[in-house]
């Protein structure tokens, strides 16, 4: 399963990738903003994306990504990001994670999304 991690913070990307690797998910692609994410999104089965990013933010990315695929998207938000989550839900995300998070939260999120949607072809 190929997972795309999108965040403008290199530290946050590193934390996410470490958590995914620990859970056995080693096919991980990273991007620093929405535009880079779109360029790297071919064949991706699941996306974790930040919301506030330069160049192209999470909202714009999700809208573009949803034009071509219904693969699950999880946004990573801050405690104060309830408004972001509501907006994101309307634009087609499947779930969200609040920072700071543990590796277990990430991994159980993946499991529940896989059960709900399967990660098969569109
Ligand atoms: Mg950010």
**39-60: pLDDT as tens digits:** 999 999 999 999 999 999 999 9
Please report, for the chain, the start and end positions of each structural domain, with discontinuous segments joined by +. Answer: 3-117
Q: Consecutive sets of 10 residues in the chain, 122 residues long: mean pLDDT of each?
A: 97 95 96 98 96 93 94 86 80 88 91 74 46
What is the Cβ-side half-sphere exposure of residue 94, based on CA atoms within 13 angstroms?
Answer: 23
Global pTM? 0.90
Q: How far is the CA of 60 from the centre of ligand 1 (A)?
A: 14
* The pLDDT value given to residue 118: 57
Residues 6+ away with beta carbon under 8 Å from 12: 50, 76, 99
Torsion sign across C-alpha atoms 20, 3, 49, 88: negative
Task: Name the CATH superfamily housing domain 3-117.
Answer: Response regulator (3.40.50.2300)
* The pLDDT value given to residue 35: 98
Q: How far is the CA of 79 from the centre of ligand 1 (A)?
A: 13
């Amino acid at each position: 399963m190929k997972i795309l991690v999108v965040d403008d913070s290199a530290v946050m990307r590193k934390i996410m990738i470490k958590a995914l690797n620990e859970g056995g998910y080693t096919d991980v692609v990273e991007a620093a903003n929405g535009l880079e994410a779109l360029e790297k999104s071919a064949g991706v089965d699941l996306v974790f994306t930040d919301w506030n990013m330069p160049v192209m933010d999470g909202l714009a990315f999700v809208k573009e990504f949803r034009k071509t695929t219904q693969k699950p998207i999880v946004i990573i938000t801050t405690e104060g990001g309830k408004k972001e989550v509501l907006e994101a839900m309307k634009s087609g995300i499947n779930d969200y994670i609040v920072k700071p998070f543990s590796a277990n939260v990430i991994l159980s999120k993946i499991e529940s999304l896989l059960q709900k949607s399967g990660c098969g072809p569109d």
